[in-house]
Structure 1
Amino acid sequence: MSIPGYSMQSLGNFVGRELGVSEWIVVDQARINAFAECTGDHQWIHVDVERARRESPFGGTIAHGYLTLSLLAALSMDVGLVPPDASAGLNYGLDKVRFLTPVKAGARVRNRVTLLGVEDKGGGRVIARMANTLEIEGEDKPALLAESLAMLVAAR
């Protein structure tokens, strides 16, 4: 996605503004299982579909909290966080993170991104601070709220 007028030079003008909302993506059981394989977190509430159907308070499996958190980077890119005149956008860290609502297998989520601040680090590098709201289609509360930091590097 492209944000009109958004560039390395104009970042400061966007502080306090919503940059955009990503496309919806499905968090299906295959994605949950792949995350479990990558991380070694095979907790039954995530990967045992039959047991979760019987015993889970959610009526089925749910995504790992860290899986939902990991989606922020790609969904922020979808919004257009990295300006077109930047050579790179790198994860720099997270500040506040709160997991509010579990994401059930098969649910669709999207990220709403607001630019909270920018800090010039010199040498064409800027730290951008974003508020991320990972919304779940059809749910009143989001899956999570997080403040993330990205190092944006100007093209030379």
Structure 2
Amino acid sequence: MSLENYRVETLGDFVGRELGVSDWVVVDQERIDAFAACTGDRQWIHVDVERAKRESPFGGTIAHGYLTLSLLASLAMEIGIVPKDASAGLNYGLDKVRFMTPVKAGARVRNRVTLESAENKGGGRVLVKTTNTLEIEGEDKPALVAQTLAMLIA
């Protein structure tokens, strides 16, 4: 991202503005299987392709909700939500998450980020809240909408 004058000291000027949109990323079966192996969540609707084709209301496997949520951090970093003059940006938490539409295996998603607030915490720290909308290519509704918190350190 190359928002002009986007720095730690000018974050307040960007509150209420869209910071950017990431590139598309494919959520393929390999990624879903790797997430299942990592987390131990091997529910058939995620990993059993043949059964999901037969029994799932979605016509195939879908990504874990938490897999789609986990994509937000890297896609937000791609956009450049951490200003270049910050020494670090740390995950601080979530205020609200809503899973809206399942992500089918093979779908492409991207993150649209809006800066909601930037609160100076002193000592060179700024707590930022962003709204992240994970869009699914070709779908009217997003996969999820999440308000995330990050602590920026100048």
Residue 145 of structure 1 aligns with an amino acid whose one-letter code is: V
TM-score (ref. length: structure 2): 0.99
Q: Deviations over 1:35-75 (max 9, x none)?
A: 00110000000000000011000000000000000001001
Aligned residue for 1:145?
A: 145
Q: Distance in 1 between matches of 2:32 and 2:119?
A: 35
Q: Distance in 1 between matches of 2:33 and 2:5?
A: 40
Cα shift at 1:81: 0.3
SS, match of residue 81 in structure 1: coil
Cα shift at 1:5: 1.2
Cα shift at 1:2: 2.6
Q: Distance in 2 between matches of 1:2 and 1:85?
A: 13
**Structure 1 stretches of 5 or more lacking a match?**
none
| Runs of at least 4 residues off by over 6 Å | none
Aligned residue for 1:31?
A: 31
Q: Distance in 1 between matches of 2:19 and 2:139?
A: 22
Cα shift at 1:3: 2.0
Residue 150 of structure 2 aligns with an amino acid whose one-letter code is: A
Cα shift at 1:4: 1.8
Aligned residue for 2:77?
A: 77
Give the 5 Å matches for 1:76-95. Answer: 76-95=76-95
Aligned residue for 1:18?
A: 18
Aligned residue for 1:112?
A: 112
Aligned residue for 1:5?
A: 5
Residue 112 of structure 2 aligns with an amino acid whose one-letter code is: R
Q: Distance in 1 between matches of 2:139 and 2:11?
A: 32
Residue 65 of structure 1 aligns with an amino acid whose one-letter code is: G
**How well do the aligned residues superpose, as a CA RMSD in angstroms?**
0.6
Instruction: Give the number of equivalent residue pairs.
Output: 154
Aligned residue for 1:60?
A: 60
Cα shift at 1:10: 0.5
SS, match of residue 104 in structure 1: coil
Q: Deviations over 1:74-123 (max 9, x none)?
A: 01001110000011111100011000000000000000000000111111
Residue 147 of structure 2 aligns with an amino acid whose one-letter code is: E
Q: Distance in 2 between matches of 1:89 and 1:37?
A: 28
Q: Distance in 2 between matches of 1:62 and 1:74?
A: 20
